[in-house]
Amino acid sequence: MSKETTLITGASSGIGLHLAKEFAKHGHPLVLVAPVEAELQAIAADIKGAHGVEVRVIAADLREAGAETAIREGVGDNAAEILVNNAGHGKKGKAWEIALEEDLSMVRLNVEAVLRLTKMFLPRMVERGRGRILNTASVAGFEPGPGYAVYAATKAFVLSYSESLATELEGTGVTVTALCPGPTDTDFFPKADMMGTRAFQQAQLMAPQEVAEAAYKALMAADRVIVPGLANKAMVFARRFLPESVQAKLNEMLTDDASPEKQKRDRGDMEAKAAEH
C-alpha cells in the first residue's frame, strides 16, 4: 500500500526537518516548504539518498501574500494527504517593547498560515474520506506566557483550533493532531532571543528527533493531542491544580536569564547527541 504524500512547512530545520526525516523513514513521499530553496534542495537530496522517497520542495515564506499561491501551484490542492503545519517563530520581551510588526509576523506565520493551508487542503480530505493534519502547537498554548505573550497566544489558537477540528471531523475519516512540545533544541531559541534563558539552559530540553518520533506515532494513532516528554506532561497536568496567576508567574520565570555558571548549553547539543544513537 502506498504511503500518503505529506506536506511539511518549516521543514528546513528543527522539528520540521526531523519530521521530514521521520515521515521519509516510514516511506512517505514529501513536499517540503520553507523560505530558502537552496537549503530545501540540500535536505531533499539527503532524504532521497537515505530513504529513497520522492521529495519535492517549494520555497515560500508563509508570512507573505504569495505563499499560498506558490503552494497551490506547486502541488495542487489535492496532492497532500497529510498536512503538517509546523512553521512558526517566537520572540521574547515585554509586550509593550516588542515591535508591532514582530507580533504581526508571529500571527501571520503561527496562526494565519495554519488557517490558510488547512482551508486549502481540508475540504478535499473530507471529500476523499481520509486525511491527517498535524499542527505544531506548544505547551505554551495551555496557559498564559508572560515574556512571550503573543507567541503563547498564537499557540493557544493552534491548540484550540486543532481540538475543535478533531471533534467536527469525527466520522469523516480525517483526523487532526496537535503537537505540543516543550523546550526543544531548535533554532526557535536563538531566533527568539532566548538562548540564555532558564527555558533553554535549565529546563528538560528535548532533542527534535525525539519530538518528531512522538509526533509521528501520535498522528498515525489519530491522537488529538501529544505532549512529548514526561517533564512536559507533568507541566501541563500541574495546571489543573495551580491558580492561573501562579502558573503565569512560573512561565514568566522561564524567560529570565539563567545564572552565568548555568549557561552551558549551546544550540544543537541535544540534537547532535540524539543523532549519535
> What residue spans of 26-148 are helical by DSSP H?
37-51, 67-75, 100-106, 113-128
Buried b (16+ CB within 10 A) or exposed e, 82-92: bbbbbbbbbbb
Q: With DSSP H G I counted as helix, E B as strand and the rest as coil, what are the percentages for the chain, rounded to 5?
A: 50, 15, 35
Contact 170, 68 (CB under 8 A): no
Contact 68, 81 (CB under 8 A): no
Write down the residue that cell numbers 509521528 correspond to.
216
Contact 179, 173 (CB under 8 A): no
151 is catalytic: yes
Q: Kindly compute the dihedral angle of the four CA atoms of residues 238, 184, 93, 36, in this order, to the nearest 10 degrees.
A: -150
Calpha distance 222→213 (Å, rounded): 14
Contact 33, 41 (CB under 8 A): no
- Which residues are known to be catalytic? 151
